[in-house]
A and B are shown apart, each in its own frame.
Chain A
Amino acid sequence: MKMLKDLLRDGKFKFGFIVLVILVTLSLLSFVSPYDITIWNVGIRDRPPSWDNLLGTNSRGQDVFWEMTFAIRNSLTIAVFAAFFSRIVAVIIGLIAGYSGGKIDKLLMSINDSVLVLPLLPILILVSSLMRGRLDVLSLGLMLGFFGWAWDARVIRSQILKLREKGFTYTAIISGSSTLKLVAKEYLPHVTPLVFATIMNNMSWAVGMEVTLALLGLSDFEMSTLGTMLHWAISYQSMLLGIWWWILTPVTVSIFLFVGLYLLSVSISEYLDPRTRIQRIGTVRQSN
């Protein structure tokens, strides 16, 4: 709680936090939606925003506001799944490479660096075009998680390398605790905040990839996500037809989502780096 309070002092964190709270609230609203979003032509088509349809309706006769709530919910769920799976891989690889060092470290890191520099988009396109139409929320999350761990595994490894040289590591080894216990009990708590900072970036990457794949026509289009929403709006030429409320809704929401997640991650990693934290507390005191 104290950490949250400290973080909320930062304007960047406050902005990101508020954006995320609003988006999560919107996504929760989808559970009380008066419409079934998979059904077309529920209302009149192409109506501009009004009190009945807050964000108007689209060319498929759906209410854009409720479509948006489902889109945010599914996109966020995919991102959470992806972040969760890739965190598992990243933590395991980072821990093993950082702790064992030597040849294992070299091997793991050369694989890691290879995945890091690979152009992932073509690979993801290849996989999802073979899986066309079968990618639901969970399998999309799994697939993105499978490819999105490399950068963070490196971050975690370097943290472990630092911890390994600390006094408590030697104390633990000399007093006879097993490697597993040492890693789980002593190292994991140190790594956890770092993992949280990387989650935001990874979620943002996952949402971006989902939208990209959907724009390319590789998603399940009955599943409403930010990507499929954009895809429909573009394929119905909503820009040319002047149905701006349809295309601008997913564009605006995704810009807010990306900027919000990014500011959160910047703020958290600044907080975790004590040097910038001292600077910030310093400036806060000065401005008071």
Chain B
Amino acid sequence: MLFLKKYMLPRVLQFLTVVFVGITLVFIVIRMLPVDPVKQIINTFAMFGATIDPASTELLIQTLREMFGLEGTIFEQYFAFWGRLFRGDFGPSLFLFPVPVIDLIVTALPWTAGLLLLTTFISWLFGTIMGGLAGYFHKSLWAKFLDRVVMVLRPIPFYVFALVMLIIFAYLIPLFPLGGGIAVGTPITFSWRFIVDVIRHAALPALSMGILGSAVWFQTMRLIVQSVTSEDFVVYAKAGGLKKNTIAFKYVIRNAILPQITALGLSLGQIFSGALITEIVFAYPGIGSLLNAAIINGDYNVIMAITTLSIVTISTLILIVDLIYPLFDPQVRFK
């Protein structure tokens, strides 16, 4: 019970705060902008050459104002905003009227979830292990070389790296398809060919996210391991004549991995943003491409829904990471 109160409760509270601050921020920012979102949407429609007669324009403005929750006092608006979020009701898509926005998101979600979760997990594991080894054997030549490579890779943002990967492995050396999730016209079956096709299309986006992700985890892990190696208990283990591998894995990496788990939670938001961009570069049919299409078509309902939903999803994922943390850290478990 004490564990629940001391460990779980603050995490759940922080989760609620993040969702609250995030959603409130979106709410405030829309109202702070010097432009009227409803007018902006009407303008976008007019820009695409759609001629709407005055009566339907009036109706459209009314619906949009309700949808953006611009009716009533600021408090009524705020509560209505939350109400819609809880019901998962984001209104119809403005471009693919009258398909509900939530349906579009549900269709796109599996692609993003697959790409994101898999690459995040693999790159975290790979980067952490390699970083741990490079930190432990930091005097060896390969560790120094790897560190230099990572030093250059790490600051490159997702989209530039994705673009470079696309130029090299799809244009210059056409190993992988230029984009998309499956080859055009492939029926969705559970055949061997279909699976291979999906993997071939996912390979480049996954690689470009995975390599960059690994670089980040590699570097932080290397630094942490280097500082743990000089701690007393490691020096003592060495003096006691324990095997090198036992010290590396059981003494050093086991301890150094804890801040890495915390960091994983903290950076999920950034990784998610990176995934959106990578998807757009590779025309991968997930949330990122949905967002891109929404921007091009001026579909504000979709943009709004993705923004609010991603805040909720990312905070939930962070909460999950926080809640499984005690499994790795006996100090928290037994306190």
Taking Cβ atoms with an 8 Å cutoff, the residues of A that contact B are: 12, 110-111, 113-123, 125-127, 129-132, 134, 204, 208, 211-212, 215-218, 230, 239-240, 247, 251, 254-255, 258-259, 261-263, 266
Known: A110-B14, A239-B167. A258 touches B311 (CB 8 A): no
Q: Which residue of A has the minimal Cβ distance to B152?
A: A259
Q: List residues of chain B with CB within 8 A of the CB of A110.
A: 14, 17
Q: Are B25 and A123 in contact (CB under 8 A)?
A: yes
Taking Cβ atoms with an 8 Å cutoff, the residues of B that contact A are: 14, 17-18, 20-22, 25-26, 29-30, 33-35, 37, 40, 44, 151-152, 154-157, 159-160, 163-164, 167, 171, 265-266, 268-270, 272-273, 276-277, 280, 291-292, 295-296, 298, 300, 303-304, 306-307, 310-311, 314-315, 318
Q: Are B35 and A118 in contact (CB under 8 A)?
A: no
Choose one: B157, B270, B291, B298; the contact of A122 (CB below 8 Å): B291
- DSSP majority for the B interface? helix
Known: A114-B22, A118-B18. A130 touches B160 (CB 8 A): no
Choose one: B35, B157, B265; the contact of A131 (CB below 8 Å): B35
Q: Are A217 and B157 in contact (CB under 8 A)?
A: no
Q: Are A119 and B160 in contact (CB under 8 A)?
A: no
Q: Are B273 and A121 in contact (CB under 8 A)?
A: yes
Q: List residues of chain A with CB within 8 A of the CB of B306.
A: 122
Q: Which of A122, A127, A218 has the most B CB atoms < 10 Å from its CB? A: A122
Q: Are B273 and A119 in contact (CB under 8 A)?
A: yes
Q: List residues of chain B with CB within 8 A of the CB of A240.
A: 171
The 9 closest A-B pairs by CB, nearest first: A262-B155, A121-B273, A114-B21, A122-B307, A208-B157, A119-B269, A114-B18, A258-B155, A119-B310
Q: Are A123 and B280 in contact (CB under 8 A)?
A: no
CB A28 to nearest CB in B, in angstroms, measures 24
Q: List residues of chain A with CB within 8 A of the CB of B277.
A: 121, 212, 215
Known: A126-B26, A217-B296, A263-B151. A113 touches B18 (CB 8 A): yes
Q: Are A113 and B307 in contact (CB under 8 A)?
A: no
CB A82 to nearest CB in B, in angstroms, measures 15
Q: Are B318 and A211 in contact (CB under 8 A)?
A: no
Q: Are B303 and A115 in contact (CB under 8 A)?
A: no
Can you list 26 pairs linking A and B with CB atoms under 8 Å apart? A12-B151, A114-B22, A116-B266, A117-B315, A118-B18, A119-B269, A119-B310, A121-B272, A121-B273, A122-B273, A122-B303, A122-B306, A125-B307, A127-B33, A130-B30, A130-B35, A132-B44, A134-B35, A212-B157, A217-B296, A230-B163, A251-B160, A254-B157, A258-B156, A261-B155, A266-B151
Q: Are A123 and B29 in contact (CB under 8 A)?
A: yes
Q: Which residue of A has the minimal Cβ distance to B277?
A: A212
Q: List residues of chain A with CB within 8 A of the CB of B25.
A: 115, 118, 123
Q: Are B303 and A126 in contact (CB under 8 A)?
A: yes
Q: List residues of chain A with CB within 8 A of the CB of B304.
A: 126
Q: CA separation between A267 and B55, bound complex, in Å?
A: 63
Known: A110-B14, A131-B35, A251-B163. A118 touches B156 (CB 8 A): no
Q: Which residue of B has the minimal Cβ distance to A126?
A: B307
Choose one: B163, B292, B314; the contact of A119 (CB below 8 Å): B314
CB A118 to nearest CB in B, in angstroms, measures 5
Q: Which of B14, B21, B318 has the most A CB atoms < 10 Å from its CB? A: B21
CB B6 to nearest CB in A, in angstroms, measures 16
Q: Which residue of A has the minimal Cβ distance to B273?
A: A121
CB B100 to nearest CB in A, in angstroms, measures 19
Q: List residues of chain A with CB within 8 A of the CB of B310.
A: 119, 122
Q: List residues of chain B with CB within 8 A of the CB of A217.
A: 295-296
Q: Are B21 and A111 in contact (CB under 8 A)?
A: yes
Choose one: B22, B40, B156; the contact of A255 (CB below 8 Å): B156
Q: List residues of chain B with CB within 8 A of the CB of A247.
A: 167
CB A243 to nearest CB in B, in angstroms, measures 12
Choose one: A117, A122, A263; the contact of B318 (CB below 8 Å): A117
Q: CA separation between A134 and B171, bound complex, in Å?
A: 35
Q: Are B159 and A211 in contact (CB under 8 A)?
A: yes
